[in-house]
Amino acid sequence: MSGGIYRSVNAVPGDEPDRPDEGTFFVAVDSTATLPTAASDQPLPPEVIPPTPAGTVYGRPAVAEDVEEQPAVKRSTLGNSAVMAAGSLVSRIIGFVRNMLIGMTLGKAIGDPYTSATFLPNQIYELLLGGVLTSVLIPLLVRKRKAEPDGGQLFTQRLLTLAVVSLGAAALIVTVLAPVITVIQADDKAGPAYRDLVTSLSYWILPMIFFTGLSALIGAVLNVRGHFAAPMWAPILNNLVVIATCGAFVLFYGTASGLKPGDMSPGEIALIGGGTLLGMIVQAIGLVPALRKVGFSWSWQWNPRALGLNEVGPLAGWMLLWVAANQIAVSVLARMLSGVGGGDENAGLLAFNNVFLLTMMAHGIIGVSVMTALLPKMSAAADEGRFADVSADLSRGIRLTTTALAPICVIYGVLGVPIAVTLFQGGALKYDQAFATGNVLIIAAFAVIPLSISYLCNYAFYALQGNKTVALINLPVVAVRIAGYFFVAEVMSKSLTAAGMTAANAVSYLLSAVISLSLLRRRIGRLNLGSVGRALIRVIIAAATAAVAGLLVVKILPGGDTPGRIPALLQVIVGGGVIVTSYLVAATLLKVQEVSQVVGMVRRKLGR
C-alpha cells in the first residue's frame, strides 16, 4: 500500500510514503538524516511516527565539523537530493493513482474493511521496528560503517540475520492471531461480516510485516553506503503491482459497486489481499540488486549478543513509548470508524485515509523541507550551548512553515469538495462518498499547520537530545486525541464522525505545539514568539484574502457547491490558481519576508 496515512508518516517524513510519507531525506556516511521507513511507502497510515532525529551523529547532535561538507560532498548531496526528489514526486503521483484506483475498485463498503486490514501490518511494523530503526539502528549502522575495519559488513550481516528471524517469527505469530487482532480493530457495530472480511484480508496482508521490515533495513544499509536511488524508487514497484491488482480485479470481477462485506468471494479476497502482499514483496526484492552494487554481500551470521544492542536500549525505549501511544490512538480510530457504516454519505476509514494522505503530502513537501534544512544548524548550536541560535532557527522555521503551508490550507478549506470529487469519484466510489471525503478535507485544512509546527518542535528537542521529553509530551497529547474520538462518537452523527475525528487530531497537534513551545522556552530561553506572532497575523490576513477570492471564484464557476467531476476539476484549477496568486500578492503587500524564501525552497524541492 502506498502513500500512507501516517505511516511514518510513522516514518520519517519523506515522501511517502508514499508512506508517511513526507520530505526528502538522505543518510550519508558522514551524517545521519531521516530515512523513510517502509511504512512511509504504505498507503494507509492514520498516524505518523516521529521522524528520525536528523542532524545527529551516533546518537548525539551533529556539531560544526559534522555538518561542514567539502565541495565534492556538497555536489554529491545535491545529486542525491535531486534523485530522491524525482523519486519522491513520481512515487507520490503513482501513489495517488493507486489510492484512487483502490477506491474506485472497492468502493466504501469494501474499501473500509480493506483499509482496516492494511492498518494492521503498518501498526505492528512500527511497534516492532519502525521508530527504533529510524532513531536508533540507522545511527548505529553509520557508526559501525565508519569505525569497523570491514566497513561494518559483519555487523550488518548479523543485524539482517536477526531481523530476518525476528520479523519472520512476528509475521507468523500475528497472522495466526489475525482473528484476535481484528476484534480489537473492528467495532461491534460494524457487524460480523465486516469483521470476517477484515480477518480474511488480514491473512493475506499481515505477512507484509516481514517484507516491510526487510525493505526498510535494506534501504538503511544502502543509504548508509551512499546509495539513495533504489530505496526511493522501489516503492513505485509496490504501487504498480497494486495498480495492476486493481486492474485485474475489475477485469475478472468488475468493480465492487453494490457489494457488501459478506458478498466478497474467496477469489476476490485472495486477489486484492494477495496483490497487496505481492506489492511489498516486489518492493523488497527490487532492493536486492542494489546491495550487490554497493558491494554488500549478505550471509547468515547468527550472533545477537555480538550486536551490542543493549547500548541503545534507553533511546529505543523512549521511541517505543512514542510509537506505542500513537498506535493505540490509531487502533481506537480504526475501531470507531469501522462502526460508521451506513450509506455513502458517511465518510469512513477509506475517506479518512485519503484525506490524511493529502495532509501528509502538504506536511512532507513543506514542513519536512524546512526541518531538514534547519535541524543540522540547530543540532550544532545546541551542542555548543548557543541556545539563542537554536531559538532563532526554531522561530524562523515556524514562520517559514506557516507562510508556505497557509495557501495549501486555504486550498484544502475552500476547494475540499472539488478536490475530493476530482481525485476520488468514479467506479465503485460514488459521488456522495467523494463529497463526504471533501468535507473531511475541509476540516483537515486546520490540522496541517499545527501538525508541522508540532513536528518542528520535536526536531528542536532531538537537537537538544530530548527524545525522552518528546515521548512524555506525546502521552497527554494522545490522551486528548483519544478523548476527542470518544466525544465525537458520542455527540456527532455518523456522517460527521470522520470529520470530527480529524478535528480531534488537529486539536491534539495544537496541544502538542503549545506544550512543546512552553517546555522549549524553559530549556533554551526566549523563543522570539513576538516576532512569530506578528508574522502569523500578516500570514492570516493574506490567507483570509486568498480564501475570500477563492470562494468568490468558486461561486462564479459552474458546479456551485455540488460540482460534478468536470466542473470540480475546473474549480480546482481556476480556484487554486486564484488562491495562490491572491495569497502571494497579499503577502507581498503585507511584507511577509518569508514568501521569497518559501518560493526558493519549493524550487529546490522540485529539483530546479
Provide DSSP, 192-235. HHHHHHHHHHHHHHTTHHHHHHHHHHHHHHHHHTT--HHHHHHH
Owning domain of residue 184: 1-318
CA–CA distance, 465 with 53 (Å, rounded to integer): 9
Residue 44 banded pLDDT, cuts 50, 70, 90: very low
Residue 78 domain flag: yes
468 in any annotated domain? no
Is residue 32 one of the residues assigned to a domain?
A: yes
Most confident of 258-262, 273-277, 520-524, 595-599: 273-277
The model's pLDDT over 371-397, given as tens digits with 9 standing for 90+, comes to 666 766 777 777 777 888 888 888 888
Dihedral sign of CA atoms 498, 548, 600, 376 in order: negative
Q: Give the separation between CA 114 and CA 180, rounded to whole angstroms.
A: 17
Q: Which residue has the higher pLDDT, 183 or 480?
A: 480
71 has pLDDT over 60: no
**244 found inside a domain:** yes
Compute CA 36 distance to the chain's CA centroid, rounded to the nearest angstrom: 9
Mean pLDDT of all residues belonging to the chain: 78
Please report the pLDDT score of residue 35 as a whole number: 35
Number of domains in the chain: 1
Question: Does residue 574 sit within a domain?
Answer: no
pLDDT of 78 above 70: no
Q: What residues contact residue 72 under an 8 Å CB cut-off, 6+ apart?
A: none
What 3-state class would DSSP assign to 56?
strand
Q: How many other C-beta atoms lie within 10 A of the C-beta of residue 270?
A: 14
**pLDDT tens sequence across 193-238:** 888 999 999 999 999 989 988 888 888 888 777 777 777 788 889 9
Does residue 575 lie in a domain region? no
Arithmetic mean of pLDDT, 121-143? 69
Does residue 436 have a pLDDT over 70? yes
pLDDT for 442? 94
Q: Cβ of 74: how many Cβ atoms within 10 Å?
A: 11
Residue type, 29: V
Looking at residue 511, what is its pLDDT?
95
Residue 114 and residue 348 in contact, taking contact as beta carbons nearer than 8 Å: no
Local confidence band at 64 (pLDDT 50, 70, 90 cut-offs): very low
User: Does residue 130 belong to any structural domain of this protein?
Assistant: yes
What pLDDT sits at residue 312? 63
At 429, is the secondary structure helix, strand, or coil? strand
Residue 251: pLDDT over 90: yes
Q: What is the pTM of this model?
A: 0.75
Rounded average pLDDT over 513-523: 90
Q: Per-residue pLDDT averaged across 398-404, rounded?
A: 88
Rounded distance, CA 362 to CA 21, Å?
A: 10
Residue 47 DSSP code: S
Neighbours of 552 (CB within 10 A): 13
Least confident of 107-121, 129-143, 504-518: 129-143
Residue 498 confidence (pLDDT) above 70: yes
Give residue 272's pLDDT.
95
The reported pLDDT for the residue numbered 147 is: 75
Confidence category of residue 581, pLDDT binned at 50, 70, 90: very high
Mean pLDDT in residue range 70-83: 46
Q: Which residue has the higher pLDDT, 203 or 28?
A: 203
Mean pLDDT, residues 2-25: 33
Rounded average pLDDT over 77-83: 49
- Would 53 be classed as within a structural domain? yes
CB 183 within 8 A of CB 196: no
Which residues, 6 or more positions from 336, have their beta carbon under 8 angstroms from its beta carbon?
187, 485, 486, 488, 489, 497, 501
